[in-house]
Amino acid sequence: MRDSEISEKKLKARSCYGHLGGTLGERLFEQLLSLGWFERDESKSTIYKITPLGEEQLAALGVDIYEKRKVKQQSK
C-alpha cells in the first residue's frame, strides 16, 4: 500500500451500547493504558480502572467521567 493510500484510509470506530469499539477504539484504549490513564484491576484480567492521572488528564480535556452516573441517578 502506498503512503497516499494509507493516509486516506481512516480507522473505523463503532458505538455499541454506548461504548467505543472497532479498531480506533482498541488503539485509543491501548494508548490510554500506555499513558497510565487506566490500569488492569488486580482481581480480574478483563477489568480496568481509571487512575488518578487518568481522571486528571481526562478532566483537563473536558471529559466528565461521572456524567453518565449523574444522569442515571437523576432519572431514579
Identify the pLDDT of residue 31.
Answer: 96
Indicate the pTM of the whole model. 0.68
Q: What is the pLDDT of residues 5-17, one digit of tens each?
A: 555 567 777 887 8
Three cell numbers written together for 41: 484491576
Whether the CA torsion 4, 6, 9, 13 is positive or negative: it is negative
Report which DSSP code applies to 2.
-
Identify the pLDDT of residue 5.
Answer: 55
Residues in the chain, pLDDT under 70: 1-9, 69-76
Q: Which helix (H) or strand (E) holds 27?
A: helix 22-34
Three cell numbers written together for 72: 442515571
Identify the pLDDT of residue 34.
Answer: 97
Q: How many beta carbons lie within 10 A of that of residue 48, not counting itself?
A: 16
